[in-house]
Structure 1
Amino acid sequence: METAEDRALDLARAIVDVLDEHKGEDILLLDLHGVCTFTDYFVLCSGASERTLRALADEVMRRLKRDRRLHPRGREGEPSSGWLLLDYGDVILHLLSDELRRYYRLEDVWRAGKVVLRVQ
């Protein structure tokens, strides 16, 4: 029987697949079990432009709605800001411009998390 943890990892991997298929850059899946109290996984992804960030967010939302009947619990940021966040509860997706990804270094902030996979 599939557990909630299995479902969360499956969702995170599905998000990674969509990002990879649609030219997301430097995709990182972090397991935050035991490190973070508000989510189980972070997916970090860079986009080369506002247009790319918007397209990635739109495609993730479209595919998860179509394939899993899931809607984000929350959406923060705008492509023009260089950072969009889609909150799916157990999985939070961060879409960042290259510049903001280097500036905020979320990989370092959450370095206690375990790298599940990285697609470069």
Structure 2
Amino acid sequence: MSEQETRKLLDLIKAGAEDKKARNITILELGELSIMTDYFVIMSGNSTTQVRAIADGIEEKVKEGLGVIPLRREGLRSGRWILLDYGQAVVHVFLEEERQYYNLERLWGEAKRLDS
């Protein structure tokens, strides 16, 4: 995926999340900090229903805009922490208390935060 396509992917992820009222959307540029992905997109919802809706909204928006589906999806059943792996970007949709507990922003504190 080109840099331009990756930027579009991030924009579509953000748009899909905003459509479903995701809160505190944070984009971390991992760059050389990780070999697994270039970006983490982290956000939260107020309920498991909303967390699932946010993940569904992101998948729909990305599929419409780029024709891409996640390489891997995890956590859909519980709806407390859903992970969507798009290769260059990994989306983490958390229930708010799960986000506070795992605190990925602190764990990846050296990562550059992009304007979201």
Q: TM-score range by the shorter chain?
A: over 0.9
Aligned-pair distance for 1:79? Answer: 5.3
Offset at residue 12 of structure 1 (A)? 1.2
The answer as to whether partners of 2:12 and 2:65 remain within 8 angstroms in 1 is no
From 55, 58, 80, the equivalent of 2:56 is 58
- Tell me, in whole angstroms, the C-alpha distance in 2 between the residues paired with 1:7 and 1:113: 21
| Structure 2 unmatched runs, 5+ | none
Root-mean-square deviation (Å): 1.4
Aligned to 2:112: 114
Moved over 3 A (4+): none
Match of 2:34 in 1: 36
How far apart are the structure 2 equivalents of 1:29 and 1:52? 20
Specify the alignment match of 2:98 in structure 1: 100
Q: Deviations over 1:32-82 (max 9, x none)?
A: 111111101100010100110111111111121122110100001125251
TM-score (norm 2): 0.92
TM-score (norm 1): 0.89
Q: Given the alignment, which residue of 67, 84, 87 partners 1:86?
A: 84
Q: Which amino acid aligns with 1:63?
A: K
Distance 1:79 1:56, change over 3 A: farther
Q: Deviations over 1:75-115 (max 9, x none)?
A: 01125251000000001000001101000000011111100
Indicate conservation of the 8 Å contact 1:25/1:46, yes or no. yes
The residue type paired with residue 39 of structure 2 is: Y
Once residues 84 and 16 of structure 2 are traced to their aligned partners in structure 1, the CA distance between those partners, rounded to angstroms, is 14
Gaps in structure 1 of 5+ consecutive residues: none
